[in-house]
Structure 1
Amino acid sequence: METPVVGRGGAPAQGDVLATPDLLAVDGEVSRGGPSVRERIGGAFLGRPLVYGLRDTDLERTPGEPGRAVLVCFPFDLEELPGGRRYEEVTLTVQLPDGMHALSLEPAAGAVAADGSEIAVFGLGRPRLRWTFRAVGRGGALRPDGRWAQAVVRMPATADAVSGRLSLSTTIVQPVLGGALRRRSAQTPYDTAFRIAAEEAWPTAASLAQHRALPGAWALTGYEDDLPDVKAEGPESEEEKLPPGLRRLCLAVDIEKYSARDNADMVRLQRVLLRTLRGACARAGVAWERCGRQAQGDGYLLVLEPGADETRVVPHFLDGLTEGLAAANDHAEDTNSAGESARSGRPHAVRMRASLHQGIVHEADSGYAGSAVVSLFRVLDSAPVRRVLHESPDSHLVVAFSDPLYTDLVGTGYAGLSAEGFERAEIEIAAKNFTGVAWIRAMRPAAAGQ
């Protein structure tokens, strides 16, 4: 029988959120004559692992090594910390049963996460796996959500499930009197068991090699345009030129608490994301196929073609995003009220952060490059934007304009771009040496009185 998982306080976890354990301080206080008291200083959300079956062509078999290989993705979020506290380091540990071991690990050792954190990895060829994410620089902080790790795991031929145990440990920095900082270690008080039956594995839809660094997203393709075949080219030469740098309007979006969803909901969210973006493009008169597009798993980067009329495109695009999310959430509520999904305990609301900026963008070999794109994502992931979304439970979308774009569009009074509701915020990310100004607004459908 499968070991039951528990949520915070010992309650069963809901749906496919595996568990929501506390993070308890290691430096517990000892009461006189009593047991050690461990203080709760944070929390975590462990998603139910996602398992994808691999085809024989995805991985070379080692001679004499029986069994089959599967890709297992481990999504998790950390609870946002109040009072100026921040996560400096977090380690995810996965213990597989005897007879299973890792053939490859992602992110790999020495990789850099989306928020700039450095990653140390252990466990290749072993049943015990460990990923450590460390913030860079003095004052660096880890982004609390959207984290994942994945491994290609060799299963014995007789195994009918992927199973194991998960745990988290962290280092948290908190300010104390006098401006000093105190580092505290915390960890989950128990290991969380998981077991995914082999028949529940998602089938693959593309080669593993094509999407090496994505957390299982390659197995869910089919909702995007097909990519053209890429022929192998020789090594770089000094004659290669910098690709053209063109001034582009850029939009980035990110789904709130994506990795805390269950498998089916993650698939649904990716569909909603693409459908909403396509609908917003149509609303704004923007040709989807002429936009630069870069999937981020739980988010998306859209680079509009040069020469777009921003005074018309931006207000219509935001209306399209707002109403598209409202329609998707209305549909989810209808499904829930009908009882089909209510029994699963899944969260249904799709909520997003969005940021808009313009600047010089280069179309590089593996994505879009340029300081404009970097600034766009710094603002998108910033604490002020996250705070506004958290404090606006009746809104499905929060948008942040860069200061120059706000001045050009909103500050000059173009139709559909009222300054009402915008909040000016100073963005400072010391670990990234980034400072800037953003104008943030919680969006609501016109019918709701926006």
Structure 2
Amino acid sequence: MTALEPREMTVRRWSAGGTRVRPVTTAAVGRPVLDVDGNGRVRMVVRVELGDLLPRWRHTALFLRVGLDDNRIRPVDLWCDAGVPVAVSGLGDRTFGWFLGGFNDRALDVRRFTATAALDVPDGVDVLAVRVRLDASLTGPLLPVVPLRRIRHARVERPWVFTEPLPADRRAPVGRPVRTVPSTTPTVRLCLAADVENYRRFRNPEAARAQERFRELLSMARELAGVDESAVRVENAGDGQFAVLPTGLDETAVIPGLVAGLGTALRRANADLNDHARLRIRVALHRGTIGAVPNGWVGTAAIAVHRMLDSAPLRRALATTPRADLALIVPDSLYRDVIAHGYGDLIPESFHPATVDQPEKGFTEPAWIHVPER
């Protein structure tokens, strides 16, 4: 049995004074154990053990993510021995993971578990290099005034990094081909679409600078949310951007991080600008099964996120709030799954219901809009 490497898990809180980090527990991950299954695939087993929590704190969800350094290696099957409901994501992708628990405040009775991936490894690859991250959703003591538990997100700040030699003989039995999943296989992903309000006011040199600031602030917001920017698929179009985030993200951490990160990035981008140059942006988030094709992406989420970005309620929300630089819209599904539960520092009451209704395009969807004043 491999030795375990412990790490602190910390909770981050964003405020006007900066980010505060508080250790709440520990987690330990063992070096991956590798062997070959009956189909000639490499089977990777990762062992995880959780430390003690602070008094009256408890786990409600866990998310174990693995990133492969070599994009020629692909997972074709994932499973987990935990004794609780488990969902997997990222089949066929270089980043994949296991989600234990659910989007609620029910206690997760897990102290240790093993996660297994069957990997398709082509000839000529002799080493497996992986980065392992663990995130957790936690609830603390009951609030003194109302009987509610605040859901917090804890993460390991520094990933576990392992480099292991692969088994030398990976030949599959004759007549049993290895199943592979192409990287373009449709998977559930978060999508982000954004544009700049009143972009036409800029002359060409101003527009070029505005585009650069716009791209930089969106990239910064994703990085502040803990998203690996190198794994984001971005399509830029002047005053707009469409981004498909990588698979295997913990939405209970990424969505609060994006909301806070967009505000921080906008404040930095606009810090030394006058009212004419100041960027005010609209942003839409959506989630769904989408896949890459030669001319872009296919899937209802890729369409819906643009419909919401171009919606009258979102445009009106920003136009009628002159002290705001951001208007964010999310579908009802994301609101109910993540925002309504107050993950991170999200305040559900700061989101207001709206209906995106575009009958000429056959599109109607309930949504929620957030307009934070600067």
After TM superposition, the score normalised by the length of structure 1 is 0.41
The structure having more radius of gyration, on CA atoms, is 1
Higher strand share: 2
